[in-house]
Structure 1
Amino acid sequence: MSKMSLKFTAAVIVVLITAGMLAGCGGMSSNDIKVGILNEMTGGNATMGTSSANGAKMAIKEANAKGGLLGKQIQAVIADNKSEPSEAANAMTKLAAQDRVVAVTGMFASSNAIAASSVAESTKVPFLAVGATNPKVTVDEKSGKVKDYTFRVCFIDPFQGTVGANFVLNTLKLNKAVILVDSSSDYSKGLSAFFKEAFSKGGGSILAEEAYLQKDQDFKTILTKVKALNPEVLYVPGYYEEVGKIVKQARELGITAPIVGGDGWDSPKLVEIGTATALNNTYFTNHYSVDDTSAASKAFVEAYKKEYGQAPDAMAVLGYDAANVLLDAIKRANSLEPAKIREALAATKDYPTVTGATTLNASHDAVKNAVIIEMKEGKQVYKATVTP
Structure 2
Amino acid sequence: MRRFAPMLLAAFTLFAAACEKKSQPAPSGDKAQGGQAAQPATAGGAPAETNTLLLGVVTSLSGTQATFGSSTRNGIDLALKEANAAGGVKGKKLEMRVYDNQGKPEEAAQATTRLITQDKALLILGDVASSNSLAMADKAQAAGVPMITHSSTNPSVTEKGDYIFRVCFIDPFQGFVMAKFARENLKIGQVAILQDNKSAYSIGLTEVFTRAFTEMGGKIPATESYSQGDTDFRAQLTTIKKTKPQAIYVPGYYNDVGLIARQARELGLTTPMLGGDGWDSEKLFELAGDALDGSYFSNHYSPGNSDPKVQKFIADYKAAYGGEPDAFAALSYDAAKVAIAALEKAKDVSGPSIRDAIAQTKDFPGVAGTITLDEKRNAVKSAAILKVAKGKTEFVTTVNP
The reply to whether TM is greater than 0.5 is yes
SS of 2:396's equivalent in the other structure is: strand
Alignment-derived partner of residue 337 in structure 2: 324
Q: TM-score, normalised by structure 2?
A: 0.89
CA distance in 2, matches of 1:244, 1:78: 28
- Taking a change above 3 Å as real, the CA distance of residues 19 and 101 of structure 1, as seen in their structure-2 partners, is farther
On the 8 A contact 1:283/1:375 being kept in 2, the answer is: yes
Q: Give the AA of the match of 1:102.
A: L
Provide the residue aligned with 1:100 in structure 2: 120
Task: State the shift of 1:387 in Å.
Answer: 0.5
Distance in 2 of aligned mates of 1:177 and 1:215: 24
The residue type paired with residue 211 of structure 1 is S
Q: Which residue of 2 aligns with 1:151?
A: 165
Distance 2:176 2:27 in 1: 51
Structure 1: tracts of 5 or more residues without a match: 1-13, 141-146
1:139 aligns with 2:159: yes
| 1:204-223 to 2 correspondences below 5 Å | 204-223=218-237
User: Is 1:232 matched with 2:234?
Assistant: no
What displacement does 1:18 show? Answer: 8.7
Q: Which of 346, 370, 375 does residue 333 from structure 1 map onto?
A: 346
- Which of 177, 194, 197 pairs up with 1:183? 197
Alignment equivalent of 2:209, drawn from 192, 195, 200:
195
Distance in structure 2 (CA, Å) of the matches to 1:17 and 1:25: 17
**2:108 aligned with 1:76:** no
Distance, in Å, in 1 between the alignment partners of 2:84 and 2:257 is 39
Q: Say if 2:328 is the partner of 1:315.
A: yes
The alignment yields a C-alpha RMSD, in angstroms, of: 1.8
- Structure 1 runs (4+) greater than 3 angstroms displaced: 14-29
* Distance in structure 1 (CA, Å) of the matches to 2:367 and 2:92: 25
Q: Deviations over 1:272-294 (max 9, x none)?
A: 1111x211111100000110110
Q: CA deviation at 1:52?
A: 1.1
1:220-369 to 2 correspondence within 5 Å?
220-275=234-289, 277-369=290-382
In the alignment, which residue of structure 2 is the partner of 1:3? none
Give how far 1:26 is off: 4.5
Answering whether residue 385 of structure 2 is matched by residue 372 of structure 1, we say yes
1:154-173 matched pairs, under 5 angstroms:
154-173=168-187
CA contact (8 A) 2:301 2:369 kept: no
Q: How many angstroms apart in 1 are the aligned matches of 2:23 and 2:139?
A: 31
Distance 1:21 1:334 in 2: 38
Unaligned runs of 5+ in 2: 1-15, 30-38, 40-48
Conserved? CA contact 1:53–1:106, under 8 Å: no
Could you tell me how far 1:334 is from its partner in structure 2? 3.4
Q: Which residue of 2 aligns with 1:53?
A: 73
How far is the alpha carbon of 1:357 from its aligned partner?
Answer: 2.1
For this pair of structures, how many residues does the alignment match? 369
**2:373 counterpart SS class:** coil
Distance 1:23-1:337 versus aligned 2 partners, 3 A rule:
farther
Question: 1:318-375 deviations in whole A, cap 9, x for unaligned?
Answer: 0100000001101100311011001111111112211222111101000111000100
Q: Which residue pairs with 1:7 in the alignment?
A: none
**CA displacement, residues 34-74 of structure 1 (integer Å, 9 cap, x when unaligned):** 10111111111110111011000000011111111110111
Q: Secondary structure at the match of 1:135?
A: coil
CA 1:224–1:354: 2 relative to 1, 3 Å: same
Structure-2 change in CA distance of 1:17 and 1:339 (3 Å): farther
Give the superposition deviation at 1:16.
11
Among the aligned pairs, what percent are the same residue?
A: 44
Secondary structure at the counterpart of residue 364 of structure 2: coil
Partners of 2:50 and 2:241 lie apart in 1 by 63
